[in-house]
A and B are shown apart, each in its own frame.
Chain A
Amino acid sequence: MNSGSNAAGPSVAELQDLARRGRAHVIRSIAHAKGGHIGGPLSAMDMLVALYFKAMRIRPDEPDWPDRDRFVLSKGHSAIALYTVLAMRGYFPLEELNTFDAIDSRMQGHPDMTITPGVDMSSGSLGLGFSGSLGIALGARAAGKDFDTYVILGDGECNEGIVWEAAHVAQRYAVDNLVAIIDHNKLQQFGWRADAPGKRKPPYTGSQLVDRWTAFGWKVMEMDGHDMAQILPTIEEARDYRGGPVAIVAHTVKGKGVSFMENDYTWHARVPTPEERDLALAELGEPVSTTAAGGAA
């Protein structure tokens, strides 16, 4: 494994501010595109910022650098969060977020490795990205490369059988150049009916997710997926762990950062009205604007 963490990079406070701005880009992008997912991108934002601005060894001006760390967004429907962070990191102009879901755009609804700079693996059919990330990690070993691979899965995504096929194989091969982060926001698109009106049950309750990954032979860590001061050292410790694969169960809030979206399953893929958009931007401390990158259309 490499020790490529960007020690001289941004401070915790700066990373927190990047995540705040990233959330605003997500809100504006979805409102501008009048489509896309929103709750999941908001829950994953802090971890994406931590990876791309601190943890990962990358060259934004050389997206195909062979020795770069790899990242796979296995919960591919949160693509807008990845595009936002890639744009803020300099892979392409922020203005390109305005083309999200548009015809001929590099900002496809789900990540496409063939057209978007910085996207290391296509994903979208849930579970497949995780399997691909295992292939990258095993392939790196076979090819004698020292880069690390990071993957973010959704908690609902862990319903997929392929996740556990891959988890089993990763343990068999003691893959220790792969860090899986599970965005445990406790809601999936629809899920199981809960007793309370308007509520849905979480895909996994209590320690079920931790127990499952542990049972598959993974070292499991937990963190608050919104606390930058926890995210950074947890990812670093997971990266440096030897002897087997590591899963970080990140406790998160779906719709994090916008009060009326938090913990509400209906915001999985709902488009904010102009009023809701402006309200959300105000909560995030961002000026009202009608475009994804900020400013007027």
Chain B
Amino acid sequence: MTLANGKALRVAFGETVAELGKTDPRIVVLDGDLGSSTRADIFEAAHPDRFFQMGIGEQNEFGVAAGMASVGLVPFVSTFACFAVARALDSVRVLIAQPKLNVKITGGYAGLLAGMTGKTHLIFDDIAIMRAMGNMVVVAPADEVETRQAIVAIVDYEGPVYLRLTREASPLLFDDSYRFTLGKAVTVRPGGDVTVFGTGTQTVRAFQAAELLAAEGIEVNLVHLPTVKPIDEEAIVAAAQATGLVVTTEEHTIIGGLGGAVAEVLGERYPVPLRRHGLADTFGESGPDAALLEKYGISVTKTAAAIRAFVRARRT
């Protein structure tokens, strides 16, 4: 089954906040001089008076957002994920997370596929860092449809959210019948041999991997966890009980991200054989997307191979 093409998550972000801004005057967007990349520029075109250019200064960008939230606005802070998570971390921690202010952190260009930028701009320990932070909700949508719905949902939620967005166009995993619920898992594909938990756009590759494996007689129960924090514990336990084998897969290191979150839940509540699949303990490099996915082991075929090897080892 071939998935239809969707828009890039960053485009869905720009379009959705611009649309919501028409009816919700509380919504403002702050940019760190990357609006033409992150597509915050779509909001600026629609609502120039509520678009704030903070220049190249991410620490201040997040501090200003905190002040705006304290007077009742709903700021979406837009920059690259590497700057939101790493460079501005103290502002995020002290002024947003600790006071639990209503700031929506939109980290664009997260993960491995960031347009030939190299290790300085690639960040794939962002989920681990933001998940460990008190009061922070972490959401990693898979496609355009889910991104739009997740943005609506996090505006309805009062508190800080890290929204993980990627640069590239992503195939559509969901259609308009899909309903995103903050904090809830969704079963993408039923199967009895192994549960695969995915998050973000890696769930799309996991779906494509599951299709390959089905042709070989391995039926994957694919469960998507777009909200990594708070994690849907009941869905994780139920899926582990149903299949007895669990793989996690993510465009993120295997340290502290989705794999860590799932392992924490199952380790305490329902221990089963578990394999964390994702990026190793490493930094990235420049390169074409396909080459990066292959080299770092999260392409569709590499993902299928990891699942296949895990399942076969357990069957023998």
Q: B106-146, CB under 8 A of A: which get 1 and which 0?
A: 00000000000000000000000000000000000000000
A145 to B25, CA, bound (A): 14
Q: Are B63 and A142 in contact (CB under 8 A)?
A: no
Question: Which B residues are CB-close (under 8 A) to A94?
Answer: none
A134, A143, A168, A173: the one contacting B63 at CB < 8 Å is: A134
In angstroms, Cα B72 to Cα A120, docked, is 13
Spot the interface stretch: A33-41, A125-133, A189-197, A216-224. A125-133
Inter-chain CA distance A120–B95, complex, in Å, is: 12
Q: Assess the A132–B71 pair: CB atoms within 8 A.
A: no
Q: Is the CB of A122 within 8 A of B54?
A: no
A70–B68 alpha-carbon span in the complex (Å): 12
Q: Whole-angstrom distance between the alpha carbons of A112 and B69 in the complex?
A: 15
Given contacts A113-B99, A114-B99, A142-B49, contact A137 B67 (CB under 8 A): yes
Contacts of A121 in B (CB 8 A): 66-67, 70, 95
Q: How far is the CA of A114 from the CA of B159 in the complex (A)?
A: 13
Residues of A182-224 at the interface with B, using a CB-CB cut-off of 8 Å, are none
Question: Which among A114, A135, A165, A173 is the interface contact of B67 at CB below 8 angstroms?
Answer: A135
B residues less than 8 Å from A130 (CB atoms): 63
- Whether A136 is near chain B, meaning CB under 8 Å from some CB there, is yes
Please, how many angstroms separate the alpha-carbon atoms of A172 and B31 in the complex? 14
A121 to B94, CA, bound (A): 10
Chain B interface helix/strand/loop/mixed: helix
Q: Report whether B71 and A139 are in contact in the complex, using a CB–CB cutoff of 8 Å.
A: yes
B296 to chain A, nearest CB (A): 33
**Which residue of B55, B94, B100 contacts A169 across the interface (Cβ within 8 Å)?**
B55
Once the chains are docked, how many angstroms separate the CA of A121 from the CA of B66?
A: 9
Establish whether residues A168 and B57, one from each chain, have CB atoms under 8 Å apart when the complex forms: yes
Assess whether A161 is interfacial by the CB under 8 Å rule.
yes
- Are B66 and A132 within 8 A (Cβ)? yes
Q: Which residues of chain A are near B72, meaning CB under 8 Å?
A: 66, 139, 143
- Interface contact A131-B59, CB-CB below 8 Å: yes
Q: Which of A128, A134, A143 contacts B90 (CB 8 A)?
A: A128
Residues of A87-145 whose CB lies within 8 A of B: 112-114, 120-125, 127-128, 130-140, 142-143, 145
A288 at the interface (CB under 8 A from B): no
Instruction: Produce 1/0 per residue, B60-98, CB < 8 A to A.
Output: 101111111111110100000000000000110011001
* CB within 8 Å of A: which B37-68 residues: 49-50, 52-55, 57, 59-60, 62-68
Q: Does B28 contact A (CB under 8 A)?
A: yes
A145 and B71 within 8 A (CB):
yes
Q: Are B67 and A138 in contact (CB under 8 A)?
A: yes
Interface centre among A112, A114, A121, A145 (most CB of B within 10 A): A121
A279 at interface, CB cutoff 8 A: no
State whether A143 and B73 are in contact (beta carbons under 8 Å apart), knowing that A128-B63, A136-B68, A162-B91 are contacts in the complex.
yes
How far in angstroms is the closest Cβ of chain A from B74? 11
Q: Mark A67-99, 1 if CB is under 8 A from B, else 0.
A: 000100000000000000000000000000000
Q: Are B59 and A162 in contact (CB under 8 A)?
A: yes
Give the residues in chain A near B63, CB-CB below 8 Å. Answer: 127-128, 130-132, 134-135, 162, 166
Q: Which residue of A lies closest to B71 (CB)?
A: A139
**Max chain A C-beta neighbours (<10 A), residue from B53, B54, B65, B98:** B54
Q: How many residues of B contact A (CB 8 A)?
A: 30
In the complex, what residues of B have CB within 8 A of residue A172's CB?
53, 55
Chain A residues with CB under 8 Å of B68's CB are 135-136, 138-139, 142
Contact A125/B90 with A113-B70, A142-B49, A162-B60 known, Cβ cut-off 8 Å: yes
Closest to B52 in A: A138
B73–A139 contact, CB under 8 A? yes
Query: In the complex, which residue of chain A has the Cβ closest to the Cβ of B58?
Result: A165
A142 touches B94 (CB 8 A): no
Please indicate the chain B residues that have their CB under 8 angstroms from the CB of A173 in the complex: 52
Instruction: Say yes or no: B59 contacts A161, CB within 8 Å.
Output: yes
Closest B-chain residue to A167, C-beta based? Answer: B60
Complex Cα–Cα for A166 and B66 (A):
13
A166 to chain B: closest residue by CB: B60
Let me know if B70 and A135 touch, CB within 8 A: yes
Interface centre among A114, A166, A168 (most CB of B within 10 A): A166
Provide the bound-state CA to CA distance between A173 and B60, in Å. Answer: 14
Q: Which residues of A sit under 8 angstroms from B75, Cβ to Cβ?
A: 135
CB distance from A131 to the nearest CB of B (A): 3
Instruction: Tell me which residues across on chain A come within 8 A of B62, comparing CB atoms.
Output: 131
Contact A131–B90 (Cβ < 8 Å): no
- Report the bound CA distance from A134 to B28 in whole Å: 15
- By a CB distance below 8 angstroms, the chain A residues around B60 are 131, 134, 162, 165-166, 169
Q: How far is the CA of A173 from the CA of B67 in the complex (A)?
A: 15
Query: A132 with B64: in contact, given A113-B99, A122-B99, A165-B55 (CB under 8 Å)?
Result: yes
> 6 tightest A-B contacts by CB?
A135-B67, A131-B63, A165-B57, A165-B60, A135-B64, A139-B68
Q: Which B residues lie at the A interface, using CB under 8 A?
A: 28, 49-50, 52-55, 57, 59-60, 62-73, 75, 90-91, 94-95, 98-100
Q: List 29 A-B contacts (CB under 8 A).
A: A113-B70, A120-B70, A122-B94, A122-B95, A124-B94, A128-B91, A131-B63, A132-B63, A132-B64, A132-B95, A134-B67, A135-B65, A135-B66, A135-B67, A135-B70, A136-B71, A139-B28, A139-B68, A139-B69, A139-B72, A139-B73, A142-B28, A142-B49, A142-B73, A162-B59, A162-B60, A169-B60, A169-B64, A172-B53
What residues make up the interface of A, taking CB atoms closer than 8 Å to B? 66, 70, 112-114, 120-125, 127-128, 130-140, 142-143, 145, 161-162, 165-166, 168-169, 172-173
